[in-house]
Amino acid sequence: MVGAAGVRPARTGGGRDRAPPGGRPRTDTDLRAGPRRHHGRRADAPRTPGDACRPLLPAPAGSGVDRARFGQSAAILAGDLALAWADDEVAALEPPRGRAGAVREVWARMRMEMVAGQYLDIHGEFTRERSVGRAVRAACLKTALYTVERPLQLGALLGGADEDTVRALCSAGRCAGLAFQLRDDLDDVFGGPRHDKPAGQDVRSGKPTYLAAVAQARAESGGDRRALAVLRRSLGRSDLDDRGLAEVREVFDATGAARLVEEKIARLVAQGLRHLDSVAVDPVASERLVALMRTAVKVPSHAAHAAHQGVGSPECGMPFGSFVSVPAEGSR
C-alpha cells in the first residue's frame, strides 16, 4: 500500500530497522509487520478518526439524510474504537530500558497533532480561509508528523536507536510527509494512479490546500482578477462540474502554483534523502526507506538526484520558516 494508511506502519517498521543490532525490543516480529493487529484490525486502522472507515453495518432504511447521518455517526464510533485499540497496543509494548516514557510521550503528541491538523482542515473549509502558512501548518500536523515522522520516531525509540539517528529520521520523515501531502494535493486536481478518491474532491469541499493557497497568493500579487474570480466561485462548490474543475486546473497552471509545488516536492525529497544519508545504518533498511519515500511522492530518481545536488533546499526541522517563504510563493 502506498496511501497514507499504508505508509504509517511501514514507517514505524522502517524506524525500528534503523536501530543498531542488539537494541531491538522484544516486540521485534510485530514491528517488522507494522503495528500489531487487534481482533483482526490494524492498530492504526483509521487515516484519521474523523474519516475512519465506512459504516461496519448496513445503513438502516430511511431518507438520504437519515442514512448520511447514520453513516457519519458510525464512522465516528468506528474511529473512536480504532483509536482505543491503538492505545491498547501501545500500552502492551515493551520498549528498551529507559524508553517507555519517551514512547508514551511521542504517542500522546501524535494523537494531539493529528486532531489539531484535522481541525485546521475542517475549519478552513468552513471559513474559506486560505494562507500559505496555515496550509503548511495543517500539512505538517496531519501528514508530516502523524503519517511519517512520529511513526519513524516510535520505531527508532522501540528499536533502541541513538539520539542522532532518531533526530535524522525525524527530519527525513518531516520532509517526506510534507512532500507526500503536496503530491496528494496535486493528484486531487490533476489526477494520479495512486489517488483513491474522485478527482476534484478537495476543490469541491473547499479544503485549504497549500496548492490553492499559493495559487490565490500569486493571483493576488499579480492582480489576476480572472484567476481570483475562478477560485472564489469554484473552491468549496460541491456541485462543481468537470468544466469548472478544468478552469481551476488552468488557474493552478497559469499562476505557476502547480509548478512551484512540484519543485517543492523535489526539494523536500532531496532534503529528506540527505538526512537519511547523514546516519550510518544498515544499507538494506536505508534502501527500504528511500524506495518508500520516492514511491510515496512519485518523484523520479533523476529529479530527486538533481535537487539533491542543488543548493537552497528547505530545512524541514521545526520551525517551518525556512520551508515556507510567503513572499516567494506569493510572487509571480
Residue-wise pLDDT for 122-153, tens only, equals 887 787 777 888 888 888 888 888 888 898 89
Instruction: Report the relative pairing of strands 37-38 and 41-42 from DSSP bridges.
Output: antiparallel
Confidence of residue 328 (pLDDT cuts 50, 70, 90): very low
CA-to-CA dists, residue 131 to 57, 74, 137, 289, angstroms:
40, 33, 10, 32
* pLDDT (tens digit per residue) in 215-227: 999 999 999 999 9
Confidence of residue 193 (pLDDT cuts 50, 70, 90): low
For helices 163-190 and 150-158, the axis angle rounded to 10 degrees is 150
State the Cα–Cα distance between residues 286 and 14, nearest whole angstrom: 8
Confidence of residue 210 (pLDDT cuts 50, 70, 90): very high
| Rg of the chain taking only CA atoms, in angstroms | 20
Alpha carbon 234 to its chain's center:
25
Evaluate the CA torsion angle 39, 41, 44, 46 in order and state its sign.
negative
Cell of 311: 543548493
Confidence of residue 239 (pLDDT cuts 50, 70, 90): very high
Please state the rounded mean pLDDT for residues 269-296. Answer: 80
* pLDDT (tens digit per residue) in 67-114: 888 888 888 899 889 889 988 988 888 888 888 889 999 998 998 888
> Cβ(19)–Cβ(164) under 8 Å?
no
Confidence of residue 245 (pLDDT cuts 50, 70, 90): very high
User: Higher pLDDT residue, 331 or 148?
Assistant: 148
Report whether pLDDT(17) > 60. no
Whether pTM > 0.85 for this model: the answer is: no
> Cβ(93)–Cβ(25) under 8 Å?
yes
- What phi and psi values does residue 129 have, to the nearest 5 degrees? -85, 125
State the Cα–Cα distance between residues 76 and 120, nearest whole angstrom: 18
User: Higher pLDDT residue, 299 or 112?
Assistant: 112
- What phi and psi values does residue 41 have, to the nearest 5 degrees? -115, 140
* pLDDT (tens digit per residue) in 31-51: 444 444 444 444 444 444 444
> Cβ(322)–Cβ(268) under 8 Å?
no
- CB burial string 285-312: b at 16+ within 10 A, e below: bbebbbebbbebbbbeeebbeebbeeee
User: Higher pLDDT residue, 86 or 194?
Assistant: 86
User: Higher pLDDT residue, 163 or 292?
Assistant: 163
